Amino acid sequence: MSKIKPAEIKIGLEVHCQLTNLKTKLFCSCPSDYRGKEPNTFICPICMGMPGTLPVLNEKALEDAIMAALALNSKISERMLFFRKNYFYPDMPKNFQISQYDKAGGVPLALGGYIQIDSKRVRIRRIQLEEDPGKLSYEGTIDSSTCTLVDYNRAGIALIEIVTEPDIETPKEARLFLEKLRSILEHLGVSDGSLEGSMRCDANISLKGGKRVEVKNISSFKEVERALNFEITRQKSLIERGIAIGQETRHWDEIRRITISLRTKEEEQDYRYFPEPDLVPVIISKDRIEEIAKRMPELPDERRKRFIEQYHLSPQSAEILTRSKAMADFFEESVKLYEKPREISNWLICEILSYLHDKSVEIDKLAVTPKHLVDMLKLIDEGIINREMAKSVLQNMLLTGKMPDTIVKEKGLEKILDKEYLRSVVEKILKENPQAVRDAIIDKKAINYLMGQLMKATEGKIDPKIAGEFLRERISELAKLKI
């Protein structure tokens, strides 16, 4: 069985990112915050492509797109054109999409560029501005539904499409690329990746220099890794059986976790690109680019470097914290309230991150705020709870959103500081476990069993250090007595 080396896998991504910081759509003045609204209420004759209507370009969309292209190290075109991409589909009000093209005389917003992930550079081929289509839904599944339900609220929303070179070699790299892209766009404030459907991507994958397979309908970054892993496995097995991979388009089925061939006539697409006659060229001056560059916020890579220098974090910690803007913001706000960046970093990375991952939730959507975390850390400092206790306080905070001191009071979690009480509990344990005591006298390590029992009896509320001291004291005393 031949193994396919990573270098033989080529993955390219086409990522569509909504410019969510705009108030209106790309070519009309409909409001852009369509999520959760009634279908077909954020529409107008222009985005519905009604007869006689014409598009007019949103200037802020252009600027946000330019800023994104700058952050991606891309070269902004001097003279940009819009092109029509012609194809029929029920989510397309005009049955063409106003988009951009890099052939046939077309000039997109920007060419080239890259994103650095770990030690690797993933090159960008082009970045273009285009409009989003509407949304289709079904009664049941796409196959069984007797009709298709169309909502045009999303039609006309501004998108930037980022197309990479096939530099990505593993599904994991694909996910890292997307996470980094999202982080960059969020740091710029031009696209909020946490909004449903705001970042969608298609992947192109080829193995061993074979034909390119396009995988569409990938709804989230997690799904990208899954879809690509599946596709690699699928293709590998075909190659091993000597079956050639043909160029095709496949559809990722999230529920069954497989890719399905879209071997329909839709494949024979000829988009007949030509320049959009209703829009005039856009000449992007150096002045405009400079002005936008000046007001560009701090990017993730810069922030990571600053975290290392300013907060003395390890490179790994800094990298993890700056993967998402929300996480990095949470960190810095926490540090503002409590100047122990390493502590905060540890808690975020070791405890909170896994929770976020498990629940698939974003840190800024949590009930827990920087103040929650900081207050909890202060409680540890004051000796009111110990570290172990703090962990369960944290879990409780994440679930309930209550402030740590409230939780501590409610659950009576204050460390048992009363030394008299502590001694009495130690005695009780020693009495209840005579065999363990004899073991502990002989072998110091066996004291752990007694520690365990002590913790159990006190519901972990004691300070292990002090309790340990007491235990060892008493064991020594007992040892002396026996002798």
Residues in the site for another protein, rule: CB under 8 A?
A: 22-24, 29-31, 38-45, 48-62, 79, 81, 84, 86, 88, 90, 93-96, 104-105, 136-138, 142-143, 145-152, 265, 270, 272, 274-275, 277-283
Return the number of the residue (64 or 202) whose C-beta is nearest another protein. 64
Encoded tokens for 261: 């061939």
Return the number of the residue (273 or 347) whose C-beta is nearest another protein. 273
Minimum distance from residue 155 beta carbon to another protein (Å):
10
Encoded tokens for 113: 């560029």
Return the number of the residue (284 or 348) whose C-beta is nearest another protein. 284
Compute CA distances 234 → 212, 240, 244, whole Å: 14, 10, 12
Compute CA distances 437 → 169, 430, 456, whole Å: 59, 6, 17
Return the number of the residue (86 or 433) whose C-beta is nearest another protein. 86
Minimum distance from residue 281 beta carbon to another protein (Å):
5
Minimum distance from residue 278 beta carbon to another protein (Å):
5
Count the neighbouring beta carbons within 10 Å of the beta carbon of residue 33.
14
Return the number of the residue (52 or 412) whose C-beta is nearest another protein. 52
Return the number of the residue (278 or 381) whose C-beta is nearest another protein. 278
Closest CA to 306 of 288, 287, 331: 331
The DSSP symbol for 246 reads P
The DSSP symbol for 351 reads I
Minimum distance from residue 282 beta carbon to another protein (Å):
6
Collapsed DSSP state (helix, strand, coil) of residue 360: coil
- Could you tell me which residues come within 8 angstroms of residue 74 by beta carbon, excluding any fewer than 6 positions away? 110, 111, 112, 113, 124, 126, 127
Element (H, E) at 396: helix 387-400
Return the number of the residue (85 or 236) whose C-beta is nearest another protein. 85
Q: Side chain identity at 481, as an amino acid letter?
A: L
Closest CA to 197 of 18, 408, 379: 18
Minimum distance from residue 35 beta carbon to another protein (Å):
15
Q: Side chain identity at 125, as an amino acid letter?
A: R
Minimum distance from residue 130 beta carbon to another protein (Å):
16
Minimum distance from residue 366 beta carbon to another protein (Å):
31
Minimum distance from residue 82 beta carbon to another protein (Å):
10
Sign (positive or negative) of CA dihedral 40, 44, 47, 52: positive
The CA distance from 320 to 322, in Å, is: 6
Sign (positive or negative) of CA dihedral 24, 26, 29, 35: negative
Q: Side chain identity at 478, as an amino acid letter?
A: L
User: What is the phi/psi pair of residue 314, to 5°?
Assistant: -70, 155
The CA distance from 483 to 472, in Å, is: 16
Return the number of the residue (59 or 196) whose C-beta is nearest another protein. 59
Return the number of the residue (289 or 478) whose C-beta is nearest another protein. 289
Return the number of the residue (210 or 275) whose C-beta is nearest another protein. 275
Minimum distance from residue 268 beta carbon to another protein (Å):
8
Minimum distance from residue 139 beta carbon to another protein (Å):
8
Question: Measured in whole angstroms, how far is the alpha carbon of residue 152 from the centre of its chain?
Answer: 27
Q: Which residues pair with 359 in a beta bridge?
A: none
Return the number of the residue (149 or 243) whose C-beta is nearest another protein. 149
Contact by Cβ (8 Å): 236, 1: no
CB hemisphere CA count around 355 (13 angstroms): 20
Give the CA radius of gyration of the chain.
29
The CA distance from 252 to 259, in Å, is: 4
Q: Pairing between strand 120-131 and 158-164?
A: antiparallel
Minimum distance from residue 107 beta carbon to another protein (Å):
11
Minimum distance from residue 126 beta carbon to another protein (Å):
20
Collapsed DSSP state (helix, strand, coil) of residue 374: helix
Return the number of the residue (149 or 195) whose C-beta is nearest another protein. 149
